Structures are given as structure tokens and as C-alpha cells.
Amino acid sequence: MKFGLRYCNTGRYVDPANAVELVQAGEAAGFESAWTVDHVVVPDGYQSAYPYSDDGKMAGGRNDLPVPDPLIWMAYVAAATTRIKLATGILIVPQRNPVVTAKQVATLDVMSGGRILLGIGVGWLGEEFAAIGVPFDDRGRRTDEYIAAMRELWSSDAPTFAGEFVNFTAAHCQPQPPGGAVPIIVGGHSKAAARRAGRLGDGFFPARDAPAPLIELARQTAAAAGRDPDAIEITASLPDDLERIPELARAGVNRLLVPVIPMFGLKGVIKNVDEVARWAQIIEKYADL
């Protein structure tokens, strides 16, 4: 079992010094990864329904909380660490040009020594898409195509792609990731997300808990697509009861994320940086599951 820190680019960790202190403490304690979250803008008065609360609104009642760009935040803390992986949880892929994103992610992966995990999602906030100038209704198709285009740019000697939204021919995009690709972890709490993880993902990250039906759907979809279902790495939220960790490991969960601030309906399990060090014993206890 691996453990990650979750929503690290929010709250007090927007501050650069606090961000570095958090991720360095996580690295020292044995955390495998530090995860960020993504919103470019959150327009006032949005009517789109936030899918993870009963009232359809993000927790906290404020739309003006700072959320630094996840890739830039990750680049900053990468320079101050050596081992801990840095992940987006998630990056809203259809809002971004995939050729530029592929370049940014590959560059970050190279400069961090191959430590980047690209968690991706389709987004839910229609008003945010409108502010960026990107269509909302075709975001699922865009996401699938953007993933394919990015992988082509990361792996081919003369990247060429012809799609509905993306087209390029012999478009050299250097540097490429050290491993020939960056792991893509599909986030979301829907059947569509689970199927996308099975078809395209290296991993699946349900937004809440570890729902067995969605995890099984991801695996079934992978098998139907001729992929190895056991190769889909499962990331989940830390359970309230730590005694459930062995149960989740038996269910195939590979990584648990520990919230560092109370946000989006999650409790802030780690109250401050000093508490990060105390997790070293918990990480060691469950490392062999």
C-alpha cells in the first residue's frame, strides 16, 4: 500500500514556503506522492451542479479561494525534493491545449527525474469552460482524444496524429518523458470515468471512497478492451477507520490519499506539517499490504 498527500496546492500550502515544508516533510515520512487539485476559475453564481455534495455546491461557500496552477506548483516543489512523486488529482484536460500540455508535463517529468503522475478528469463546471472559451458538451470526446495525442507526442520519433480536435504531422516535441510516457490516472466518480480508466488509463481514482462497483467496472472495461485489468492501479481516499486499510488492499486498492486540509467535503486529517512526520509509523505498518 502506498500513501499520498491530497490537495496540497490549497489552503496554507498556497504559500511557497509552506508548500515546500509540506512536501519535504511528506518525503521524509515516506509518503509516495503529493497530489494537487485544479480550477482555473470559479465564476460566481455558477449553476452547474458540483457532483460531490447534496446541494450541488463546493464545500466552504466561497468561490475565491486560491488554487495555484497545479503544474507550476508541482514544478516549484519538485526543485526542493528528490523522491516523492508529484501528481495532479486532477488536471481538467479538455480545458487545455493537449500539445502544449504534453510539452509542459514531459518537461516537468524530465526535470523532476520521472516523478510525475498525471491524474486527469473531464470537469463539471460549465461556467469555467465558458470563461476559458472551450465547449463543455464534447469534453468527454476531447479528453479521450487529448490523451491519445499526448501519448503520441511523448513516445513517437515523429509524432503524427489526425483526430476530430487535434491534428499534427511529424511534430517533434522534445524532451520526451524518461519512460516514454507519463502515467495517466483517470479521476471521477461516475461510470463514464470508470470506463475511461479501463479503456485508456494506467490507473483509476474515484473521487470518494473506494466504490467496489466502479472499480469492478474499470477492470471489466479493461478486460473487454484487451488490456490487463490488474494493471489498472487504484487510488482511493483514506478511510475514516484505518483498520479498514487491509480490507481495501484485499479489494485491490494500491494507494490511499490523506487530506492535508478540510476541503471539498473532506476532513483535514493532517492538521499541520508537524503531524506529517507522525504518519511514518502508519506508512511503515501498511507498506507490505
Bridge partner residues of 35 (DSSP)? 87
Q: Domain span at residue 48?
A: 2-184+195-202+257-286
257 residue type, one letter? L
Cell numbers given for 124: 463539471
214 lies in some domain: no
223 lies in some domain: no
CA distance 35 to 252: 20
CA distance 22 to 272: 8
37 lies in some domain: yes
247 lies in some domain: no
Q: How far is CA 136 from the centre of its chain?
A: 20
pLDDT tens sequence for the chain (289 residues): 999 999 999 999 999 999 999 999 999 999 999 999 999 999 999 999 998 888 888 876 678 889 999 999 999 999 999 999 999 999 999 999 999 999 999 999 999 999 999 999 999 999 999 999 999 999 999 999 999 999 999 999 999 999 999 999 999 999 999 999 999 999 999 999 999 999 999 999 998 888 999 999 999 999 999 999 999 999 999 998 999 999 999 999 999 999 998 755 555 588 889 999 999 999 999 999 9
235 lies in some domain: no
How many residues does the structure list for the chain? 289
236 lies in some domain: no
Q: How many structural domains are present in the chain?
A: 1
19 lies in some domain: yes
213 lies in some domain: no
Question: For position 57, which CATH number holds?
Answer: 3.20.20.30
